[in-house]
Structure 1
């Protein structure tokens, strides 16, 4: 089925052909205002108080001067605009440029971009000329870490046949449960994960108001520029009273393997009660560095780079890994885990170009209790931080986690009393932030004041079971497919939700995605009963849902279990919904919820789409709503209360206007 949503030239559809990758109605851009600064592609005032406080300022390419062409806006999966911040970008052909005005003085730039893949996969490289004020620099761009195809766990080969011929392939209108021969697909099949980003220290401060012009090279048929982040980076931090890795043979040029030197410095630091200091430089490390009861401090993540190749193992490791790579790991939980680890002030640059779920090639991993991970930049690893508990009392703060093949961070199994605050996560290949209570519950954890942008698969923030969990003050924008902004699910063998789940004062932007496998729209927040009832005390309070493609809220059970599981004890209070393509609430499950001071405007279809469990009995829907008062905007009319059926399985989509001050 072809499903379409249009607003001023953008379309949402279940399209997969490579020809759609560059869709979007090209047009030449002119600046709306000089130095147009955004957060998650919006006026910062619209998301004030939500998300991470960062040192850089974001500027979208589509609002800058250019002689290239704007692509988008478009929310169609498998297209370049859909994966861009704000769902638009600028396409440059060789010699074309896009030009930004610096809003503040800066000496460092980050460019988010896309280049074409090589015809047979593997990516290409091409220079980008950067003129910042009177300076001219060259940035080396690559698509070697981009461009995945096909079905999960995906492939780098654009010419591959189906990886799983017996799986559902709803996007091409076939469900081959036992299909012989395999269905015909258009190649490359399901291209995705188009973007990467590159950082550049200018070596000199460029004043506010100066221009930054990015000019595309003739080495690539096209270059898409999504955005520019500009920053004034402080001088490198020097630590004199420490075990300096240089004293143990580390090579700051990156030519020799420095892993043995790190091991020696860590052993010396533990014996002498010193911290380990890693000065400016690029240090080659191609395996895990095991950390326990030690502090490792860099000069700052722009200066201290710990970079490694992904290395194939001659035989699989006991945990199933077939590769290793750079990463800082606590001891395995079965061995007691690690404690009192402090990692700060450096970058981890991995070399992960494919997703292999058994591989331990994460930036930070293992079990670390009573630990702090602060101020890291984690790039090109499988998962930025994957913790396997049991473990407790760990704080993950002020990190930048970008361009991951899978999750940004995952608290997996028995993580308790831990905090993830003020992190910036962009372009993950799975859930950006997740708590997964598989086999052993997670308890007392908080995700607070983080910014998540453009997860290409799954959710911005996902909670899979657990006890007494808080998700607060986060900003989540532009999820692409098979998930949305905020999710709570009884899935993946997770322990039940118990105690409370508080989802408080978060903002979602351009979420409520189209679920390609179900052929329906999700909610910006969606709660999914798949493997058991969800009946903990769930309170969604003070959240803002802006420009949701389909619904703001969705409550759902999978069709085969819709008569088995329900969602109850839900409470929505002090909510703002500004724009939905369809409804404020879509209920496709049995259960109940209360609503108080939930204000909505620019709602595309009926305010409540209440299907219950689709039995349509004379007694009404199996899902009931309670009006506790103050629900403005006419979305929760009296005839929609209690268990009144208002079901339209796939209502027409009406794109709302852009969000504006309330």
Structure 2
């Protein structure tokens, strides 16, 4: 999504620059709290979901066939870095805000919790001094014997500077007229201009690699990852390892096999034309297109309409190249229908963000279609749909290491579902509905997991009608976003009908907004371009270990007297830990609260600034107590619109979440 900086709050409210407040880290992205020395795993392997005890998120997020193990819980002679939630640091972008740093010769060792023949390693290695990345080996051994070598790369990581970012660590400011918090100024209006430390705002540090081990190993076997003595990487950070038992390749004997049409499974020559020929034949013969195991080079869009394309499984069938993508026809040309994509991987070669480039894994317009069981990485956006389209189902996919969004419903997407998908390390919103010019309506984002979006939000809804966000797990947004955002911005159509946000769990969410110099909420309502007045039903959500607030409702300063946030109903909700407040209101409007239980609240339960008019009648934002609100956070003396405004309250880090 195209992003511009948020206008700064006035100087009277920007009392401290981010640097002065101690929020901006040192220039070195490796700076973080560290624990050195060998550590030993506990009695058995520690399996987590979003770095949490799985019991805390039961029934929420994507059902996955792998076991997640955090490196900080494994045996290592390396150094644990973190916890740290400060943007532009390696721990902040790590799952659970911790990782293990290895120097050459050091290792981290995981004990398999179940039988596995494949692993995925999330890691970071340094950039090249002039940008562009390096490669380095990682030794993988099982039980001290079975050996494989994984080739790590930082070619798809390490972005710098202001949006839309640079690959050059020595670049000057991309937008010298933008407000930057590091000097509390608009640089072009400052004499003399500020000296900005380089590299400026490094981010997007992590990547991940998958490896088939060659055979299955048993629960209790030990997988050791070692940074070899001769590696070119001065350090290797291991965030986590996922292990799983991958089934054999799927075979489709009655299908249009792309090999018969000239596709090269060794990836030495471009197979795009062969895919086109297979698709054309399959449509005439009413067959599926089958892509057997192999790596196929495709350097452009493959247009799909009225066709089924299936692979041998996304561990076995890989389609990769510069500009690779499977696209429906443009909506202006009627779009595509009855497309079925499943069982393969798409690997792009996108190393920088250029918003006008159509280098997404899946794109165009597809109605009455399904996308299932794909693995996508290194594209700009994993899936970006330009409507109007209807009845699209996106299920059971893995979308990782994107420069921008994982999935975006852009313009008039209706009655469609995104369910059971696993998303990690996006460069923008994980999942988004963007009602740009035409409303998205009747869509559901349900039972997805979104982890570590580097910029923006886990799940965002920008306008639209009767949409639902349900049963998702969102963890560790890094900067300028929240786990869940309801935003009137980016030219979106108004919110209408009912917006349902129910049964979601967020953890370690609510980032620091660099332009405003304030902490956000895990759930963030943002009225920038118009009122938010739809019937918003916020029910059954769990907000865990909130960095700042659980819920924030805010209107940008320049329009605070124009737009309001109303008709928000929060019910049957648990808040376990806030760095600041349960609710932070910085807008006009009203909300109701019923059966909202909160504990471990760092500051006043309700930080009510309203729209900063401070009238004698009380805040311009009102909260109604419908009963059953436990934990003392919604004290009677706060109601209905008591002003309790602390512009930047001190942060009290909450304890880890625990069973309720």
Please report the TM-score for the alignment, with normalisation by the length of structure 1: 0.96
Task: Write the mapping of 1:132-171 to structure 2, written as runs, cut at 5 A.
Answer: 132-133=142-143, 134-171=145-182
2:280 pairs with 1:267: yes
Of 588, 591, 607, 2:589 maps to: 591
Please tell me whether the aligned partners of residues 78 and 106 of structure 2 are also in contact (alpha carbons under 8 angstroms): yes
Correspondence for 1:46:
56
Deviation by residue 1:84-126 (Cα, 9 ceiling, x = unmatched): 0000000000010000000001000000000000000000000
C-alpha root-mean-square deviation of aligned residues, in Å? Answer: 1.3
Please tell me whether the aligned partners of residues 16 and 191 of structure 1 are also in contact (alpha carbons under 8 angstroms): no
Structure 1: how far apart are the matches of 2:586 and 2:333? 44
Deviation of 1:342 after TM superposition, in Å, equals: 0.2
2:303 pairs with 1:290: yes
| Greater alpha carbon shift after TM alignment, 25-34 vs 508-517 | 25-34
Correspondence for 2:107:
97
Structure 2: how far apart are the matches of 1:268 and 1:421? 32
Deviation of 1:177 after TM superposition, in Å, equals: 5.7
Please tell me whether the aligned partners of residues 16 and 189 of structure 1 are also in contact (alpha carbons under 8 angstroms): no
Q: How many pairs does the alignment contain? A: 641
Correspondence for 2:440:
442
Structure 1: how far apart are the matches of 2:412 and 2:288? 29
Correspondence for 1:9:
none
Deviation by residue 1:43-91 (Cα, 9 ceiling, x = unmatched): 0001111100011100000010000000000000000000000000000
Task: Write the mapping of 1:187-586 to structure 2, written as runs, cut at 5 A.
Answer: 187-217=198-228, 218-308=231-321, 310=322, 325-586=323-584
Please tell me whether the aligned partners of residues 19 and 183 of structure 2 are also in contact (alpha carbons under 8 angstroms): no
Structure 2: how far apart are the matches of 1:381 and 1:32? 38
Please tell me whether the aligned partners of residues 121 and 157 of structure 1 are also in contact (alpha carbons under 8 angstroms): yes
Please tell me whether the aligned partners of residues 17 and 517 of structure 2 are also in contact (alpha carbons under 8 angstroms): no
| Greater alpha carbon shift after TM alignment, 73-82 vs 124-133 | 124-133
Please tell me whether the aligned partners of residues 291 and 317 of structure 2 are also in contact (alpha carbons under 8 angstroms): yes
Deviation by residue 1:223-267 (Cα, 9 ceiling, x = unmatched): 000000000001000000000000000000000110010000000
Partner-residue secondary structure (3-state), 1:171: coil
Please tell me whether the aligned partners of residues 18 and 24 of structure 2 are also in contact (alpha carbons under 8 angstroms): no
Please report the TM-score for the alignment, with normalisation by the length of structure 2: 0.96
Structure 2: how far apart are the matches of 1:33 and 1:181? 60
2:135 pairs with 1:129: no
Deviation by residue 1:146-194 (Cα, 9 ceiling, x = unmatched): 0000000000000101111111111333233634664320000000000
Please tell me whether the aligned partners of residues 416 and 443 of structure 1 are also in contact (alpha carbons under 8 angstroms): yes
Partner-residue secondary structure (3-state), 1:170: coil
Structure 2: how far apart are the matches of 1:43 and 1:450? 17
Correspondence for 1:319:
none
Structure 1: how far apart are the matches of 2:203 and 2:305? 38
Please tell me whether the aligned partners of residues 165 and 179 of structure 1 are also in contact (alpha carbons under 8 angstroms): no
2:105 pairs with 1:87: no
Correspondence for 1:107:
117
Structure 1: how far apart are the matches of 2:182 and 2:412? 37
Deviation of 1:20 after TM superposition, in Å, equals: 4.7
Structure 2: how far apart are the matches of 1:177 and 1:128? 45
Deviation by residue 1:439-488 (Cα, 9 ceiling, x = unmatched): 01110000000000000000000000000000000000000001010000
Correspondence for 2:31:
22
Partner-residue secondary structure (3-state), 1:172: coil
